[in-house]
Amino acid sequence: MRMMALGLAFVCVQTAAADDGPWRSLFNGKDLTGWTPKIRYHAAGENYGNTFRVEDGVLKVGYDADKYPEFHNTFGHLFFNEPFGSYRLRLEYRFTGEQCKGGPGWAYRNSGIMIHGESPKTMSKDQDFPVSIEVQLLGGNGKDKRSTANLCTPGTNVVLNGKLFTPHCTNSSSKTYHGDQWVKCEIEVHGNGKIRHFVEGELVLEYEKPQLDPRDAHAKSLARNGNLMLDRGTISLQSESHPCEFRKIEIQELKE
Q: Which CATH number fits domain 2-253: 2.60.120.560, 3.30.70.141, 2.60.40.10, 2.60.40.1150?
A: 2.60.120.560
Say whether pLDDT at 193 is over 80. Answer: yes
Res 77: pLDDT:
98
Res 55: pLDDT:
98
Mean pLDDT, residues 133-139: 98
Parse the chain into domains and list their residue ranges: 2-253
Question: Residue type at 32?
Answer: L
Say whether pLDDT at 40 is over 60. Answer: yes
Mean pLDDT, residues 132-142: 97
Say whether pLDDT at 175 is over 50. Answer: yes
pLDDT digits (tens, 9 = 90+) for 195-236: 999 999 999 999 999 999 999 999 999 999 999 999 999 999
Look over the chain and give the mean of its residue pLDDT values, rounded to a whole number.
93
pTM: 0.92
Best CA proximity match to 56, nearest among 37, 32, 29: 29
Res 18: pLDDT:
54
Angstrom distances, CA of residue 111 to CA of 12, 20, 175, 213: 28, 29, 17, 22
Mean pLDDT, residues 147-174: 98
Res 3: pLDDT:
36
Say whether pLDDT at 89 is over 80. Answer: yes
Angstrom distances, CA of residue 151 to CA of 157, 159, 231: 10, 12, 17
d(CA 112, CA 97): 17
d(CA 70, CA 38): 18
Question: Residue type at 26?
Answer: L
d(CA 155, CA 166): 10
3-state SS, residue 20: coil
Instruction: Return phi, psi of residue 96, to 5°.
Output: -135, 160
pLDDT digits (tens, 9 = 90+) for 1-27: 333 333 434 434 444 455 788 999 999
Res 4: pLDDT:
36
Best CA proximity match to 64, nearest among 48, 80, 46, 79: 48
Mean pLDDT, residues 31-57: 98
Say whether pLDDT at 97 is over 70. Answer: yes
Beta strands in the chain (DSSP E): 23-25, 35-39, 52-55, 58-61, 76-80, 86-95, 110-117, 133-138, 150-152, 156-160, 163-165, 169-170, 183-190, 194-199, 202-212, 234-239, 244-253
